[in-house]
Structure 1
Amino acid sequence: MEKLRIDKWLWAARFYKTRSLAATEIGKGRVLINDQPVKPAREVSLGDQVAVRRDQTTITVQVLALSAVRGPAPVARTLYEETEASRLAREAAQEQRRLASEPALGFEHGRPTKRDRRQLDLVKKGGDW
């Protein structure tokens, strides 16, 4: 086998859980082969560079092997090798997310509790605490 559909390869390499999900993401333009946008039926061959955008990071891999069957994760990792630049960018983004502050800490009080709501209702009605 010297060529394989990109949606099938991404599924076999465990980038996506299903082929239809891989095809959907390819259709949205989140997958590039050799820096070119592709369609799900595009064939990938050995040595191609595949860029997969997930969340806010882009993973760029070099195709080392082709497989039309989805196997265990250790076998799937042998189908590709992540480029050094991609690995460094992914690790930097991971470190940045780790160091970022928790968004919920910006709120001082948060939502009122049941007790707080009762007290607000009493104040609105003019009652006593």
Structure 2
Amino acid sequence: MRIDKLLWCLRYYKTRSIAAEAVKKGHVTVNGQVAKASREIFPTDKITLRKDQINYKLTILDIPQNRLGAKLLDMYRKDETPKEAFEHLELLKLSKEHYRAHGMGRPTKKERRDIDDYLDDNYASEDFE
């Protein structure tokens, strides 16, 4: 089976064309070599792919006939991705929530409410002093 079709079947990409584009950009390696979209995959191949700032490491156990349900994935691949990669992604998400660059436009509704609550708390504390 082709690498782009396999990554689509194993639900790493939503469409086959997105999978083919990721392979074309060099985000996917097979047994340590950069792969082309037409590369044939066989059982025991080791695949590394970069998606959403995570380097996934997979070992193919068997080749599926078509796209699988999420519960059946472990029958066809062994995921060897380290847990630290997912923890790093969580830290990135948390840091992005608290960072707002200067000149990024108006605050969102939630940010505006947070600012108002902060200002109300500060003015309320000054009245009692």
Q: TM-score over 0.5 for the alignment?
A: yes
Contact 2:28 2:50 in 1 (8 A): yes
Match of 1:60 among 48, 57, 60: 57
The list of structure 1 runs, each at least 4 consecutive aligned residues, that deviate by more than 6 angstroms after superposition, is none
Change (3 A) 1:71 1:102: same
In structure 1, stretches of 5+ residues that fail to align are 113-129
Q: Which has the higher contact order (CA 8 A, sep 6+)?
A: 1
Structure of higher CA gyration radius:
1
Contact 2:54 2:89 in 1 (8 A): no
Contact 1:32 1:38 in 2 (8 A): yes
Confirm or deny that 1:29 pairs with 2:10: no
Match of 1:91 among 81, 86, 89: 86
Deviations along 1:55-81, one digit per CA (max 9) or x if unpaired, are: 211111111111130121111332211
Change (3 A) 1:66 1:73: same
Give the length in aligned residue pairs.
104
Which AA in structure 2 matches 1:37? Answer: V
Look up the match of 2:98: 102
Q: How does the TM-score come out when normalised to structure 2?
A: 0.70
Superposed CA RMSD in Å reads: 2.1
TM-aligned CA deviation for residue 99 of structure 1: 5.2
Deviations along 1:1-39, one digit per CA (max 9) or x if unpaired, are: xxx211111111001111111111100001110111011
Which AA in structure 1 matches 2:89? Answer: Q
Select the structure that is richer in strand: 1
CA distance in 2, matches of 1:90, 1:55: 10
Look up the match of 1:9: 6
